[in-house]
Structure 1
Amino acid sequence: MNQLVTNQLVADQPVATGAAAGFVIDSERPADEKARERLLDRAMGPERRRKTCERLRAGRLPADGLALVARDALGRVIGTVRLWNVQASGVPALMLGPLAVDPWWQGCGVGAALLREALARAVARGHGAVILVGDAPYYARFGFSPQLTEALDLPGPVDRARFLGLELKPGALDGARGCLRASGAKAAFARVPHRPALTMPARRAS
């Protein structure tokens, strides 16, 4: 496993990694859905629903225990990340995204704290690899590399330089070839649309 992923945790308990900065990382709750969707609209804009990665998330539930939020001191959602079960040629992996932070909290370490906690929880649950589409220099800090996805494709257009992988277990992506397919549990309800909000630039995973 990449040595940058070091935090072990008690599942489903808030993590006070960012408490000194005024936020904590917590498991997402059903009541967080509307706040999460509004945050994603602010950070990424309504076009986010047309991204290629959305085809792997549509109609599916996030991987068990791997939907996280960052909360401020008042409990408000200021960041979100979710991971999804996918597979290629029978090899399982997680697809990470969207990872987004409220524009007013960007630069405060919220995104990094969410990512580290998500990876730690993935390790604790026995997952072997994580794949995402995002800013390569940013995610390289956490061990992600485009070399690990060279044999993989997405069900739509993708910038290969932003198509990144991380093995949590050595060799976890050995034998993974071809197009990634969704493999998680299907959602029992349709997503409720939310009104788009002002779009501001953000560093995030799609």
Structure 2
Amino acid sequence: MTVSPISSANKAETPVSSAAQLRLATPADDAWVEELQALSFGPGRYARAAFRVREQFPIDTTLSLIAEIDGKPVSSVWMTPISLSGVDGYLLGPLATDPAYRGRGAARLLVYEVTKLALNRDEGQYVVLVGDEPYYGPLGFARTKPGAIQFPGPVDPDRVLVYSTDPRHVDTLHGPIAAFGER
């Protein structure tokens, strides 16, 4: 499967290519996702920003996706509805991939599809994440103002990225992460 990057304004126009098939996560996936996250992030994962946000706000299970290759689950992503500066959006993460399947495009496909699904709902205006710009930049994510967004845990401010259909959000989103719909 080949899809285009989310935004035509990307720095790199590298298509996302993968043999992965995507599906919604089900409760039957919970144990596998937990094991995958433990494998990917280790015991320190609970101190990470995405985990700390989810302690306060629930994930949106309708935006929890699994990538499968040859019928085997290999990667997962979660989205948490949040609000920043009175503007609703989503926090992407964690994104995790089985080490044996890294580099095959499943994670990029998950990022592309879950971002598209979330923003096509017209309920949120952006997707924010903590990650590496060289990885997420080709998918349309850009660095926010360092320190503008306050997470409930430690975050490298240079790794806070946002994708939005409104380019002003890169410079205007700020403050602590709040509940979706909180104005």
What SS does the aligned partner of 1:58 have? helix
- What secondary structure does 1:141 align onto? helix
1:61-108 Cα shifts (integer Å, max 9, x gaps): 32252110112323x321000111111232111100001110000011
1:135–1:176 distance in 2 versus 1, CA, 3 Å: closer
Q: What aligned pairs does 1:13-52 form with structure 2 within 5 A after superposition?
A: 18=18, 21=19, 23-52=20-49
SS of 1:4 mapped into structure 2: coil
Higher helix share: 2
Mapped pair 1:4 → 2:5: yes
Q: Is contact 1:28-1:67 (8 Å) kept?
A: yes
Structure 1 residues 47 and 179, CA gap change in structure 2 (3 angstroms): same
Equivalent in 107, 111, 133 of residue 111 of structure 1: 107
Residues 187-202 of structure 1: matches in 2 within 5 Å?
none
Hey, what's the Cα distance between the residues in 2 that align with 1:37 and 1:113? 20
8 Å CA contact retained: 2:22, 2:66: yes
Task: Give 3-state SS (helix, strand or coil) of 1:26's partner.
Answer: strand
- C-alpha offsets along residues 156-187 of structure 1, whole Å, 9 cap, x if unaligned? 32111111111134545775331112438xxx
TM-score by length of 1: 0.72
Code of the residue aligned with 1:139 in structure 2: it is Y
Higher mean alpha-carbon deviation, 158-167 vs 171-180, is at 171-180
User: RCO greater where, 1 or 2, for CA within 8 Å and sep 6 or more?
Assistant: 1
Partner of 1:131: 128
Tell me which protein shows more strand as a share of its residues: 2
Change (3 A) 1:149 1:117: farther
- Residues of 1 paired with 2:61 and 2:146: CA distance? 24
Tell me, yes or no, if the aligned pair for 1:148 and 1:164 is still in contact at 8 Å: no
Tell me the equivalent position of 1:179. Answer: 176
Q: Structure 1 vs Structure 2: percent identity of aligned residues? A: 32
Question: What letter matches 2:89 in structure 1?
Answer: A
Q: 1:92 aligns with which of 79, 88, 93?
A: 88
Q: State how far apart, in whole Å, the 2-side matches of 1:174 and 1:161 are.
A: 13
2:156 to 143, 154, 159: 159
Normalised to the residue count of structure 2, the TM-score between the two structures is 0.81
Q: SS at the partner of 2:49?
A: coil
2 CA distance for matches of 1:121 and 1:148?
26
**What do you get for the CA RMSD once the two structures are aligned?**
2.3
Question: 2:12 maps to what in 1?
Answer: none
Of residues 64, 68, 73, the one that matches 2:65 is 68
> Structure 2 vs 1, CA of residues 148 and 93 (structure 1 numbering), >3 Å: closer, same or farther?
farther
Q: Which runs of 5+ in 1 are unaligned?
A: 7-16, 185-206
